A and B are shown apart, each in its own frame.
Chain A
Amino acid sequence: MRKTILAAVIAAVAGGAAVPVLADPPFDAKDPKYAPYIAGEKRSGYTFAEPETRAMQDDDFSNPGFLWVEEGKKMWSKVDGKAGKACKDCHGDAEKSMKGVGTVYPRFDPHANALLTLEQKINQCRTERMEAQPLKFDSKPYNAIATFVKHQSFGMPFAVQTDGPVAPYFDMGRRLYYERRGMSDVACKHCHEDYWGMHMRTELLSQGMPNGFPQYRLKWQTLGTAQKRIRGCFEEVRAEPYPVDSLENTVLELYATWRANGLRVESPAVRK
């Protein structure tokens, strides 16, 4: 339970009645233990999380996200589809072949001639090379294989591209990031650029960095992808979310991930 220290300070200064504003979890940019979670001015959601939530993420045994990593690891070498192949048959040892892959998605795919999320790329491999069914969004195997692949880049800095064929997607992403929407009439940037570090009721606004996805969310009681989280932020402001894997949701993921360039892959992170 959080205490209302900040509230007491405000009340003392203002000389008014005690009003409850939540206190912040500890963070000191100069403390070397936070170095893996910051890059210049950029701060991972980890630094805004409660100490208990951080502890859960830090320990592979208490981090529920590792159930998905384990499941994905099994899927990696399991044959599926008419071609009689597993991921492993084309890609070998994931620890080598998938290292760094998680840092560059969403990425322009010349074969599909489109911007693809990591999850979309995995489904492309399934349908085109394995001749298997695409995995259903937010299903256990969909989340598991993506988390396993992403985790192979754990600790590596994000480096999504924004130029060349990606430029038009990036521009669209930026436009949508700055576009007001919903009953609350706000854009992503209002919460995650202008007011991070401030409280919206019980929520401490973070910079909205997606470097922990796929991640376990206590509120969801399960693990989910960036696509799911972005739709959640639409719901938060009573806006109509764009469909999963729509161009709009994908370019928003691209723009948000570009903002996190330099921060490290934390998947599977744990957040409130």
Chain B
Amino acid sequence: MQTSITRLALAAVLAVALAGLAEAAPRKKAPERGYFDVSRMAPLTDQKGDPANGRKVAATKGLCVSCHVMPIPEQPDHGDVGPDLAGVGSRMQPPELRMRIVDPKVLYADTIMPSFYKSDLNRVKKGLEGKPFLTAQEVEDVVAYLATLK
């Protein structure tokens, strides 16, 4: 836990510094993490996550690469809003990764990161109401993929 906080802070600082904006207006600090009970975050489905499909979901439907640099070089234009996810599998265990994807606001109330498995969202576009961003199995697949990023 302690290491991942430090890493996260480092990643955020690095991203800001690299963007050459270190002297610009104060930006988001590395988030403070709230307490959560890992044991609550059991797998969402009985079927084991498929890392290959998880990689695909991260690159496409999940829009993860819009905000995160990920080791998916064939996909152009990764974003740098969030930390680089290379090595995230050694920083975090699957329950924490799952919590991050399901509803990251539990960890950090003010995060920009979407809640990918929440269906009671505010003012969702007509036709998409009540549907989570990803299906339960897609979440499991992404968790399985992230766990391989050691």
A238 touches B27 (CB 8 A): no
Identify whether the interface residues of A are mostly helix, strand, loop, or mixed.
loop
CB within 8 Å of B: which of A90-143? none
B123 touches A20 (CB 8 A): no
Whether A185 contacts B121 in the complex (CB less than 8 A), given A21-B79, A21-B80, A200-B67, comes out as yes
Contact of A184 with B by CB under 8 A: yes
- Among A10, A181, A201, point to the contact of B123 (Cβ < 8 A): A181
Contacts of B99 in A (CB 8 A): none
CB distance from B47 to the nearest CB of A (A): 24
Whether A183 contacts B128 in the complex (CB less than 8 A), given A10-B69, A20-B76, A200-B66, comes out as yes
Contacts of A183 in B (CB 8 A): 114, 121, 124-125, 128, 133
| Contact-residue bracket for chain A | 35 or more
Q: Total A-B residue pairs with C-beta atoms closer than 8 Å?
A: 116
- Among B66, B71, B123, point to the contact of A17 (Cβ < 8 A): B71
Q: Per-position contact with A for B67-83: 1 when CB-CB < 8 Å, else 0?
A: 10111110011111100
Whether A19 contacts B24 in the complex (CB less than 8 A), given A179-B122, A181-B122, A198-B15, comes out as no
Residue in chain A with minimal CB distance to B11: A14
Q: Per-position contact with A for B1-30: 1 when CB-CB < 8 Å, else 0?
A: 000000000000011001111001101100
Contacts of B65 in A (CB 8 A): 201
- Among B71, B77, B86, B125, point to the contact of A21 (Cβ < 8 A): B77
CB distance from A200 to the nearest CB of B (A): 5
CB distance from A39 to the nearest CB of B (A): 12
A195 touches B115 (CB 8 A): no
| Contact-residue bracket for chain B | 35 or more
Q: Per-position contact with A for B99-121: 1 when CB-CB < 8 Å, else 0?
A: 00000000000101011001001
Residue in chain A with minimal CB distance to B123: A181
- Among A24, A41, A191, A199, point to the contact of B112 (Cβ < 8 A): A191
Identify whether the interface residues of B are mostly helix, strand, loop, or mixed.
loop
The interface centre, meaning the residue of B20, B24, B77, B84 with most chain A CB atoms within 10 A of its CB, is B77
A194 touches B128 (CB 8 A): no
Contact of A182 with B by CB under 8 A: yes
Contact of A240 with B by CB under 8 A: yes
CB distance from B108 to the nearest CB of A (A): 12
Residue in chain B with minimal CB distance to A16: B86
- Among B19, B71, B118, B133, point to the contact of A19 (Cβ < 8 A): B71
A195 to B67, CA, bound (A): 11
A194 touches B27 (CB 8 A): yes
Contact of B126 with A by CB under 8 A: yes
CB distance from B135 to the nearest CB of A (A): 14
CB distance from B9 to the nearest CB of A (A): 16
A197 touches B24 (CB 8 A): yes
B69 touches A185 (CB 8 A): no
A16 touches B118 (CB 8 A): no
- Among B14, B24, B79, B114, point to the contact of A184 (Cβ < 8 A): B114
B80 touches A198 (CB 8 A): yes
Q: Which residues of A contact B (CB under 8 A)?
A: 6-7, 9-10, 13-14, 16-22, 24, 29, 41, 179-186, 190-191, 194-195, 197-202, 205, 235, 238-240
Q: Which residues of B contact A (CB under 8 A)?
A: 14-15, 18-21, 24-25, 27-28, 63, 65-67, 69-73, 76-81, 84, 86, 110, 112, 114-115, 118, 121-126, 128, 133
7 pairs of A and B residues whose beta carbons are closest in the complex = A190-B112, A181-B123, A41-B25, A201-B66, A194-B28, A184-B114, A198-B81
22 contacts between A and B (CB under 8 A): A6-B19, A14-B84, A17-B73, A19-B70, A20-B76, A21-B78, A29-B24, A180-B122, A181-B124, A182-B124, A185-B114, A186-B112, A194-B27, A195-B81, A195-B112, A198-B19, A199-B78, A201-B63, A201-B79, A238-B124, A240-B124, A240-B126
